[in-house]
Amino acid sequence: MDIIKIRFSSDLGESGSEFEKNIKEMFHSISPMFTFSEHSWKPMMDIYETPDEIFILAEMAGVDKKDLELEINTKAVKIYGNRSGIPPVANARYCLAEIQHGPFDRILFLPSPIDTERVTATYTNGLLKIRMAKQKNTTQSIPIQDG
């Protein structure tokens, strides 16, 4: 059985300012060639939930599992890694070059708190599947004492 590295964290603060993120998105929407080298691409992802679980499906063709990492806490998941570039073909003139490579990271805020003890992740054929059990809502009665 292969292992996917998962780190548990209490804070997954996003790197960079909101302004920096807006600038990156603006230039990336003009052309994928206008990307910043530190975060050159974003894998496509789906998040869906059932009454008991939350699922993330991430498309990462060409990413080696050894170059993929996860950090989780009860409220968010950070997925990051690196896709190696394919060396350009000598004496070739590219008519189209859209496949992005380099480092990536995504922070996904979850719709419900999860139980970090009940998380599984699998990686097959370029698809990362993360399955997380939701935290059970427990109500506790607190006695009120005289002051």
Structure tokens at 7: 């780190």
For 18, list phi and psi in degrees, rounded to 5.
-65, -40
- Please say if the pLDDT value at position 10 is more than 50: yes
Structure tokens at 56: 């993330």
Give the confidence band of 5 by pLDDT, cuts at 50, 70, 90: low
Query: At 34, which helix (H) or strand (E)?
Result: none
Q: How far apart are CA 118 and CA 44, in angstroms?
A: 24
- Please say if the pLDDT value at position 23 is more than 90: no
Whole-model pTM: value is 0.68
Give the confidence band of 131 by pLDDT, cuts at 50, 70, 90: very high
Give the confidence band of 4 by pLDDT, cuts at 50, 70, 90: low
Domains of the chain in sequence order: 5-14+42-85+94-134 (2.60.40.790)
What's the pLDDT at 13? Answer: 52
Q: What mean pLDDT comes out for the span 90-94? A: 88
Report pLDDT digits (tens) over 64-76. Answer: 999 999 999 999 9
